[in-house]
Chain A
């Protein structure tokens, strides 16, 4: 079974600074997707960034980027120029890319606080 581990229950960052959230996962599959989701107090799960395992290039979305290390099964999220609106729970998630496999396995989350 796949597992996703987020070892940092809470993190804080000064506004405009950079923070990195850690995620490791365990799988025997070679093709899969990894995601970072953001959940603000509104409860809405918002997709931040996605990485396909077959791509060596790290995904980037504006201020958000990942460091994907497939051999180490590591998938960290870097938030640059942190903003107050970035404060939320962040969940790392895994999904096998095989046909018909759409369910996500989530880590326990990291609560990010942004200090003005």
Chain B
């Protein structure tokens, strides 16, 4: 299995500021994804982080609000910009290992509280 390290594990931020979440995988992966899990809710895909190109965003999510980087095959970042209390959620990174594209592994998530 792939081990995914996500940092920070939690943070409390002031509204109007930005937070960058890092996701590091211990092996090269084909695809990386960022999900949002609002309190008591299921996971919603924000975007697919593509290596060497711009991320692909799902409906309702835009690059200006959630810029994503993926500089190599093992690392990605998600920034939550100009935060408001509505952005308070758990953000999860997920990855599909090379050669094992039937499985997706997850980081431990980042619990974000915006005050």
Q: Contact residues of A with B, CB < 8 Å?
A: 33, 35, 37, 42-47, 50, 52, 91, 95, 97, 102-109
Contacts and interface: CB of A to CB of B under 8 A. Distances in A.
Interface string B31-63: 101000000011111001000000000000000
Contacts of A97: 102
Pick from A44, A103, A106, A107 the residue with the most CB of B within 10 Å: A103
Nearest to A91: B42
A16 B109 CA distance: 31
Contacts of A107: 42
Contacts of A95: 104
Given A43-B90, A102-B30, A102-B33, A50 B42 contact: no
B102 A106 contact: no
Contacts of B78: none
Interface string B80-115: 000000000010101010000111111111010000
A103 B33 contact: yes
